[in-house]
Amino acid sequence: MVMADLMRKTEEEWKKDLTPEQYHTLREKGTDAPFTGEYWNEHGKGMYVCAACGTELFSSDTKFDSGTGWPSFTDTVNLEHVELRDDLSGGMQRTEVICKKCGSHLGHLYMDGPKEKGGKRFCINSSCLTLKKSAE
């Protein structure tokens, strides 16, 4: 992704364009309550895009039931579309997942995912995603 593709808005603009719930997760690094939200138990086919900017992030083909109550994926559709950043907040050592295009928080990456699929678990907030369902 080149610099010209980046989307940057002021926090005032984000506040106007997002729901309060989305603003909290995407812009204030909040976390959806587990087993709530639109997608933790969604099994439809399609592409999950960034709820803030529409960048393609995760294919439903990589979604799996992690039991955590959050939408979980074994991989991104393109690693270039996300930024991974060390996150030491809350006394934990975690890897934050950020939308590279708009700089919004998406969730975290853990390495306790399905081993046969590479071991990654992208734990992403429903409120940070929009599922574009594929025609069936």
Q: Return the number of the residue (15 or 117) whose C-beta is nearest Fe ion.
A: 15
Q: Return the number of the residue (22 or 60) whose C-beta is nearest Fe ion.
A: 22
Q: How far is the CB of 131 from Fe ion (least distance, A)?
A: 15
Q: Return the number of the residue (85 or 117) whose C-beta is nearest Fe ion.
A: 85
Nearest to residue 82, comparing CAs of 125, 50, 111, 46? Answer: 50
Q: How far is the CB of 120 from Fe ion (least distance, A)?
A: 20
| Residues engaged in binding Fe ion (CB under 5 A) | 50, 52-53, 55, 99, 101-102, 104
Residues in the chain, overall count? 136
Strands 46-50 and 56-59: antiparallel
Annotated catalytic residues are 123
Q: Return the number of the residue (10 or 93) whose C-beta is nearest Fe ion.
A: 10
Q: How far is the CB of 60 from Fe ion (least distance, A)?
A: 18
For 38-64, b/e burial (b = at least 16 CB within 10 A) is ebbebeeebbbbbbbbebebbbbebbe
Q: Which residues contact 93 (CB under 8 A, 6 or more apart)?
A: 86, 87
- 86-93 contacts at long range (C-beta below 8 A, 24 or more positions apart): 89/29
Q: How far is the CB of 116 from Fe ion (least distance, A)?
A: 30
